Amino acid sequence: MTNWFSQVAAVTGTAVRTIPQRRGSSLATVVGIAGVVAVMVAVLSIGEGFRKALRTAGSPDNALVLRAGSDSEMMSVLLGDAVEIIAQAPGVARGPVDGAAADAPLASGELFVVVDLPKRSTGTPANVPLRGVQPAAFSTRENLRIVEGRKFEWGRNELLVGEGAARQFRGLEVGSQLVWGRNEWTVVGIFSAGGALWDSELWTDARVLQPAYQRGNSFQTLIARLESPAAFDRFKDALTTDPRLDVQVLRETEYYGNQGRTLRAIIEKLGFGLAVLMGVGAIFGAVNTMYSAVAARTREIATLRALGFGSGAVVVSVLMEALLLAAAGGTLGAIGAWLFFDGYRTSTLNWDTFSQVTFAFDVTGALMIQGAIFAILLGLLGGLFPALRAARLPVTAALREA
């Protein structure tokens, strides 16, 4: 066994030392595999960034209430009387809220509408979410802070803009005026939610938004801060057993975790599909490179076989060379994707709300490892047939051919 390993090490060392003599074909293989890995990781990082934006929106301390049978806020309706009943349910935390009592329920009935704004990058109109909130909204969201301007005043036609929306869409600078519904709105501030879903939204007073869109005394959802995550079951049971209500109660983390599944599935299929299509080309490139390597080393391989080196050692040496080139390409591609795409901000349509969500590409370590594994697989497939050819090469014929 020791002798076999020694043979593998000797043959592999010789193969690696000859790579500079075939630098052109070797470099083409490395670059081809790097391109495949970079594209795969970059596309998959879109889904990862989208998932992160939704995941960070949910808090384990929050519960979300919708009308029974509704899949999203867009499909839900909660009347004002129901919102008042829900806010007083057991398990809801109490505390000071913005512009209201010092000891009020930390529950915000909210209205969700979609408005048109042009994208900064293309000028094309896009659906942007406009959320009407109640005073407790600022107490139910973690990590929300004003980064420019001020909060809107309750009862006025004023907007607070998420920094992601301000970056992606035109006309959202502090002081800008916009006309939607029956109202003219003034942007008075920009807030940051730490990259969460709220960064994509515009906020205003729900009581101002309701008449602007003829919604009467209705909301679409309610966000409640609970006394603790353990209070969820008590809160849910109180609402679902109340004959005055027809609602479903979800943990906020569950609701936002379920959103965007369709888009994430499409992105993942697209990423792996592109990787497979491009990978086929990379495999042919690797096969050509390794066949060239075997052809260039025909005399050397035949001589080693004549000296007693086993065919297995030759197979492993060719595969190791292919894996080395693939690993170099995979590493280069993964690092390139991280350098050029990680943190790149964009927006896409959330099919659950038919509005834009701003997010940043998120090239994670796990995606880079996936890319490296895919590169290794390409190297194995690209090196397998040339390795078998090298092992089956008749010694006498190879010496004459060389």
Dump pLDDT digits (tens) for 107-154.
999 999 999 999 988 888 888 999 999 999 998 987 889 999 999 999
Give yes or no: residues 94 and 217 share one domain: yes
- DSSP bridge pairs for 218: 79
Last residue of a domain, one of 211, 245, 279: 245
Residue found under tokens 């050397």 = 300
253 in any annotated domain: no
Give yes or no: residues 21 and 149 share one domain: no
Give yes or no: residues 96 and 185 share one domain: yes
60 in any annotated domain: no
250 in any annotated domain: no
Three-state secondary structure call for residue 141? coil
Phi-psi region of 99 (alpha: psi -120 to 50; beta: other; left: phi over 0): left
- Rounded-to-integer distance, Cα 26 and Cα 291, Å: 11
Last residue of a domain, one of 245, 277, 293: 245
User: Among 197-201, 311-315, 391-395, which range has the highest average pLDDT?
Assistant: 197-201
Closest by alpha carbon to 74, among 220, 196, 200, 218?
Answer: 220
Give yes or no: residues 149 and 88 share one domain: yes
255 in any annotated domain: no
Percent of the chain with pLDDT over 70: 78
Give yes or no: residues 192 and 320 share one domain: no
336 in any annotated domain: yes
- Rounded-to-integer distance, Cα 8 and Cα 42, Å: 37
Give yes or no: residues 129 and 158 share one domain: yes
Lowest mean per-residue pLDDT among 135-139, 166-170, 271-275: 271-275
| Two structure tokens written together for 288 | 């050509």
- Rounded-to-integer distance, Cα 154 and Cα 99, Å: 8
- CA-based Rg of the chain, rounded to a whole angstrom? 30
Give yes or no: residues 285 and 396 share one domain: yes
DSSP secondary structure, 121-140, as one string:
TT--EEEEEEEEE-TTHHHH
Structural domains of the chain, count:
2
Give yes or no: residues 46 and 164 share one domain: no
- If one compares 292 and 339, the residue with the highest pLDDT of the two is 339
Last residue of a domain, one of 245, 276, 307: 245
Give yes or no: residues 38 and 104 share one domain: no
Give yes or no: residues 273 and 304 share one domain: yes
DSSP secondary structure, 156-199, as one string:
SSEEEEEHHHHHHBTT-STT-EEEETTEEEEEEEEEE-TTSGGG
251 in any annotated domain: no
Q: Which domain holds residue 114?
A: 69-245
Residue found under tokens 């970059």 = 42
Give yes or no: residues 224 and 307 share one domain: no
Give pLDDT tens digits for 357-402: 777 888 999 999 998 998 888 888 877 777 677 667 665 655 555 5
396 in any annotated domain: yes
Give yes or no: residues 214 and 73 share one domain: yes
| Two structure tokens written together for 389 | 């050819």
141 in any annotated domain: yes
User: Among 33-47, 87-101, 139-153, 226-240, which range has the highest average pLDDT?
Assistant: 226-240
